[in-house]
Amino acid sequence: MSKQIKAIRGMHDLLPEDAPLWRFLEDGVRAVLDSYAYQEMRLPVVEMTALFKRAIGDVTDIVEKEMYSFADRNGDSLTLRPEGTAGCVRACLENGLLHNQTQRVWYKGPMFRHERPQKGRYRQFYQIGVETFGLEGPDIDLETLLICQRIWRTLGLDHLQLQINSLGDAEERAAYRQLLQAYLRQHQGRLDEDSQRRLETNPLRVLDSKNPEMTELIAAAPVLMDHLGAASRAHFDQLCQGLEANGIAYQINPRLVRGLDYYNRTVYEWVTDRLGAQGTVCAGGRYDGLVQQLGGRATPAVGFAMGSERLITLLQEQGSGGTELSPHLYMVLVGEAADGTGMALAERLRDRLPWLRLQVNCAGGSFKSQFKRADKSGARYALILGDDEWAAGRLALKPLREAGEQRSLNQVELVEFLTGLLAPD
């Protein structure tokens, strides 16, 4: 017998028992984004490799080490998307959504990075992304953070802290980059292997190092915030004022730089101490140069992405979230007449009660075996249609999860009873 094929390392299955919590998360996020009038997009999982190299940067860890790239039959280099922003910008440009327009959009789906799998970090992982285009003031930065705060409240999540920083404009960041490089070169012998590599190509990423042996060195490095121009400083100060006016607590983290090259000015992360090393559950910021970098006109933009698996883990740890979606009814069919009409009756009930979760017995079986299936399904009631019930034009409804007498009802009475008993608010 051939060896069983298993899932690829770092790519996991989401089973039926997982679905209620995922639905709770996604429905909650969708409801909040609807309330802010953001529109959903559906984007391809595969893009041209050049898109991510141009958007993310050739010398980032994502492009250098983590992308799943391959040549297709035409010889084109394609990549499973490692993040969503680049593809969203590409789609907006290609479909003419950014010409003299503003856009507020969102998307969800799987992303792919070849990282070392650990708790909260997978090679296929799910994100919900939110992007805005054509709005340049700090008020839209604030709106994205208000959306995050409302999502946390809707989901019942606590213990999330907002960290923010400003990376300034391109010119300010370039000047700071030289200053930081000069400082790091003075201490080059204390840099680890990754930081040595980043020193010449992407020195700001050295500030994001998690190596405890470099904590003191990084703490003493020049601070970008001290080198912002008047416009960048005013943008950041107004954002902070807006956060305070709306009751959002925050911490300024001068070492927060984000891992993607396209960010400028505002950057932020929502972090928790409940997930160990993988403490960031949502991150984003402003990327005013990316649209032009990908072939469009200069367009201000800001957005964020949430890690679904990490939010699910938080929901599980807090014991909050969706409940199992067991059937309301399990239809037991006994006899030829019942077998011949049961499915049609179930369809009529679903027409009358669209919210009803009704499972019909399939593959026959004795009355006793069907009741075992009904109990195993988790249904609240067994709906019994036998030849006697069929002849009388009635059905029997028997409680499975609570005390109560079995009832005999015609179809009209059944609909009225179920509406009063089970209908959602």
What per-residue confidence (pLDDT) applies to 163?
A: 96
Instruction: Outline where 36-157 has alpha helix (H).
Output: 49-56, 61, 85-94, 138-155
Q: Average pLDDT, stretch 276-281? A: 81
What is the pTM (predicted TM-score) of this model? 0.89
**Is 376's pLDDT higher than 90?**
yes
64-90 tens-digit pLDDT:
789 999 999 999 999 999 999 999 999
Displacement of CA 318 from its chain's centroid (Å): 18
Q: What is the pLDDT of residues 152-210, one digit of tens each?
A: 999 999 889 999 999 999 888 888 888 988 888 898 888 888 888 888 877 887 887 77
Q: Which CATH number fits domain 329-422: 1.10.10.10, 3.10.450.50, 1.10.3720.10, 3.40.50.800?
A: 3.40.50.800
For the chain, the domains span 16-168+228-318, 329-422
Specify the length of the chain in residues.
425
- Report pLDDT for 24: 94
Can you tell me whether residue 303 is helix, strand or coil? strand
CA distances from 389 to 75, 204, 206, 365 (A): 66, 75, 75, 18
pLDDT score for 192: 86
Domain 16-168+228-318 of CATH type 3.90.800.10: no
**E-strand spans in 183-272?**
250-252, 264-271
The pLDDT value given to residue 411: 93
Give per-residue pLDDT as tens, 314-330: 999 887 776 677 899 99
Task: Report the DSSP pairing between strands 77-80 and 46-48.
Answer: antiparallel
What are the angstrom distances between the C-alpha of 75 and each of 48, 70, 78? Answer: 11, 9, 9
What radius of gyration do the chain's Cα atoms show?
A: 28
